[in-house]
Chain A
Amino acid sequence: MKSFEKLAKTIAAFDEGSKEYDSWYKSPEGRVILKSELLAVKALLPRGQGVEVGVGTGVFASELGVEFGVDPSTKCLKIAQKRGIKVICGTGEALPFKDGSFDFMLYVVTLCFLADPKGAFKEGSRVLKPKGKIVVCFIPRDSPWGKFYLEKKAAGHRFYKHANFYTSKEVGEMLQRAGFIPEAQICTLLQRPDAVTNIEKPLRKGCELAGFCCIRAEKACRLKL
C-alpha cells in the first residue's frame, strides 16, 4: 500500500504544478533541453501505433507524433488533450490496455516517478505486440546531471523530491528482468547542467556524462515448448 501512497503524492504534485511544468519547456533553457532531448528520442523512435506512459502535458508525444498518452495527473492530461493526444487517466503500474495493443511504448522521464518500475515494465511488455519495442528515456543517476537532480530532490523540489534515479546499467537490467532485450542506446546533454547553451546532437556513447539517456529494447518472444 505504501507504493500507492507515494504515487498519490507524486500525482498531487503534478496536478498542482501542471502549468509550471508545462511552461518550463517554453523557457530559454527549457527550449534548448527539449530540442536536444527530442533529437535523441527521434533517433530511437519505432514506427507504428504507440503510447507514451507518463505523457504529462503531451509535449513529447505531440512533437513526436505519438497517438496515445496515459498519465495519472488529470490536470496535465487536459493540456495533453488540447495538444491532440488521445489521453487516458491511468498509471504505468496498472495499464488500462488490452494485451498486444501497441507497436511501441515510450517513457520519457517517467521511470523516476514510477512506484514499481519492474511491475510497470512487465505491464508494458503485456500491452505490446510480439516483438514490440519499449523506449525508456531517463536522467542517469551517476552523471553530473543525475547529481544535479539529486541535489534538487534533497532540497525538496516540488517534483523531484518524489523521484528515484537509476544508472543506465540498472535500467538495462530492469528491462531484461521484465522480459526485454536491449538493442540500442543513445544520449544527449553532455554540457553542464548549470550552463545549458547549445542544442546537442545525440551520441551513441557517454551515458555516464549525459543528462538524458534513451534505451530501446525489444519484447522477448516466449518459446512454446
Chain B
Amino acid sequence: MIKREDLKKKPIDPELLKILACPVCKHDLKLKGNELVCVGCGRRYPIKNGIPYLLPPELSL
C-alpha cells in the first residue's frame, strides 16, 4: 500500500523504479527531481502523484 507520507519523501516507489525502462528504447531510467530520464535516448517522463507517465511519444500528454 502506498502511503501519502511516503510519496512526499520520494516521488516514486523504489521497488517500481527498479523494474522501469524507457518505453521507446528500453534503456534504464534515472530519477531526476520529479522526472524519469532515459540514460539511452534522453527522453524525459513526468511523475505525478506517484504515477510515472511512461507513454510512447505518440500518446504523450
Contact = CB atoms under 8 A, between A and B. Distances in A.
Interface of A: 1, 4, 7-8, 11, 68, 72, 74, 77-78, 81, 84, 86-91, 93-99, 101-102, 126
A88 B51 contact: yes
Nearest to B61: A74
Nearest to A1: B58
What are the 10 closest A-B residue pairs judged by CB atoms, nearest first? Answer: A96-B54, A94-B23, A96-B23, A4-B58, A101-B19, A84-B1, A90-B54, A94-B56, A98-B21, A89-B53
Contact of A84 (B2, B19, B24): B2
Given A8-B59, A81-B2, A98-B21, A86 B16 contact: yes
20 contacts: A1-B58, A4-B56, A78-B49, A81-B2, A81-B49, A81-B50, A81-B51, A86-B16, A88-B16, A91-B55, A91-B59, A93-B56, A94-B56, A95-B23, A96-B20, A96-B21, A97-B21, A98-B26, A99-B26, A102-B19
Given A68-B16, A94-B24, 5 more contacts: A78-B49, A89-B55, A91-B59, A96-B23, A98-B28
B20 A98 contact: yes
Interface of B: 1-2, 13, 15-16, 19-24, 26, 28, 49-56, 58-59
Contact of B59 (A4, A97, A98): A4
Contacts, number: 69
A11 B59 contact: yes
A117 B41 CA distance: 26
Contacts of A11: 59
Contacts of B55: 72, 89-91, 94
Contacts of A77: 51
B51 A98 contact: no
Contacts of A97: 19-21
Contacts of B52: 88-89, 96
Contacts of B21: 96-99
Nearest to A82: B2
B56 A86 contact: no
Given A1-B58, A74-B51, A96 B16 contact: no
